[in-house]
Amino acid sequence: MQGALSRLRSWALDHKDQDIRGWAVRNADGRVLGTVDELIVDTDSKHVSQIVLSDGRRFAAHDLVVGDHALTVTSVGNGAKRTAAAVAASNAAIAATPVKRDIPPPVEKKAPVVEKKAVAVEKKVYEPVAATAAKVTSTVPNVAELVVPIIEEEFEVGKRRIDTGGVHVESRIVGKPFDQDLRIRDEQVKVDRRKVDQPLSLEDANARLREGMVEVTAKSEYPVVEKKTHVVEEIVVNRGTSERAVQLRDNLRRTDVEINEMPRAKEPIFRQEAKPVSGGAARVQGKDGSVVIPVVDEEMNVGKREYEAGGVRVTTRVASRPVDKTVTIREEHVNVQRRAVDRPIDAAEDAFRERALDLATYTEEPLVQKRARIVEEIHIHKDAKERVEHIHDTLRHTDVRVSELPGERIATRNYYEGHFKKNYLGQNYQFETVLPAYMFGEDLRRSMPNQTWEIIEVQARPLWEAKNPNTWDKFKMAIRNGWERIK
């Protein structure tokens, strides 16, 4: 039989330092799982078999290793490998924690209600509470097959006798004063001497003149008390029984599984484009003043990588269904009767002796047993197949066309390169980056030939920053130089 230590009123730990209630419980990674709230005792082996955390979770004693005011779960099911030393320490400190029975309870044992089966058993005196469950969301690792157990609780009701009190009868000797008047007769002898003058004959004289002694006794009465004992009343104490029906209501939990197919994700296009040269320049200035134009070819390497393409989401939740059962409870009660009696007592009986008698009463209480059983398993596995994917793409190549510039454009470029070297070369700008600003200044002169620079600046700034945001102040000098060059 297993039960919570706090509810086994006649059981206690052999040593107080073995009480691990309130200790922290950690997993193999050091994460705190909770604190020990209750110890489950196997009354047959007289050892602690399980611990119960504050959130209701249970762990077997042989899956725990005792540390410094902390317990570590080393169950194989949690992915931790237990060493021989860990098992020895666990068995020595937890599973071998003895409990002792202080006073044998006066409860009459009934036939056991619990069947011994290899299932998880929870026994409790009926206390209807709402079933709660903590929802845990986890990502399943990449495994070939996933098994989801469906757990269902069973509900059985039994009875057990408990002490509900009784009657304490105590007899003691009480003295009662007795007063009564009794007439007593007392006799007294009185002697009177009287003078007499009476003649006597010789014969009478000889008869009376003899020595002798006459005794006259006086008698008195005294009280004589005799006590007789007899039974005048009897107190009869007996136990009566009655039965009543108790309606038990509780919730049975069951694992409810919801399977939803996750939407298939759009197949991504894993393509990496060649990064352009910073600053947009495609030419390099050589040391001797020559211009070097790099010719670039793209290459394509095709590989594979995984991406999430949907799947199945399995959601388990704890569903409860109410269960009602009626059990007949037998109750005992004490009847006390006082009967008038007039019966003499045998001389051998010890009449006046103080004594105390206890007559206990018992009643039955419902014993609810819940057993969790795995009634179904959901197996989820993945099938893999291969397909041929045809890759079609375009590879880029630098195509160089060489054409001769007219003399005027060469002169214009040389003019602006001189201005660029004087004003922008030390600012890490490329000439090809600043050249559009010179051209924009020429266009302003041609479109507004008769306006002053102050007026043109107000109108030109929004036009330039529409295509080149926040760069007017950087290239303002180049734009004005191009505007001034065209007369």
* The 3-state secondary structure of 212-225, one letter per residue: CCCCCCCCECCCCC
* Better pLDDT: 288 or 317: 317
Instruction: Check if the beta carbon of residue 34 is closer than 8 Å to that of residue 73.
Output: no
Tell whether the model's pLDDT for residue 246 goes beyond 70. yes
Average pLDDT, the chain: 75
Buried b (16+ CB within 10 A) or exposed e, 398-420: eeeeeeeeeeeeeebeeebeebb
Written as one letter, the residue type at 370 is: K
Structure tokens of 140? 């399943």
**Closest among 161, 160, 162, 156 to 368, alpha carbons compared:** 156
> What pLDDT does residue 112 have?
37
Tell whether the model's pLDDT for residue 146 goes beyond 80. no
Q: Is the pTM of this model over 0.75?
A: no
Question: 10 Å Cβ neighbour count for 296?
Answer: 10
The residues spanned by each domain of the chain are 1-105, 108-171+233-266+308-399, 407-485
Tell whether the model's pLDDT for residue 472 goes beyond 90. yes
Tell whether the model's pLDDT for residue 464 goes beyond 90. yes
**259 pLDDT band (50/70/90 cuts)?**
confident
Q: How many CA atoms lie within 13 A of 381 on its CB side?
A: 6
Express as a percent the part of the chain with pLDDT over 90: 7
Partnered with residue 290 across adjacent β-strands are none
> What pLDDT does residue 274 have?
52
Tell whether the model's pLDDT for residue 4 goes beyond 60. yes
**348 pLDDT band (50/70/90 cuts)?**
low
Tell whether the model's pLDDT for residue 152 goes beyond 80. yes
Q: Stretch 334-342: mean pLDDT, rounded?
A: 84
Assign domain 1-105 to its CATH superfamily: PRC-barrel domain (2.30.30.240)
Instruction: Check if the beta carbon of residue 64 is closer than 8 Å to that of residue 73.
Output: yes
**273 pLDDT band (50/70/90 cuts)?**
low
Written as one letter, the residue type at 416 is: Y
> What pLDDT does residue 475 have?
92
Q: What are phi and psi of 370, to 5 degrees?
A: -115, 130
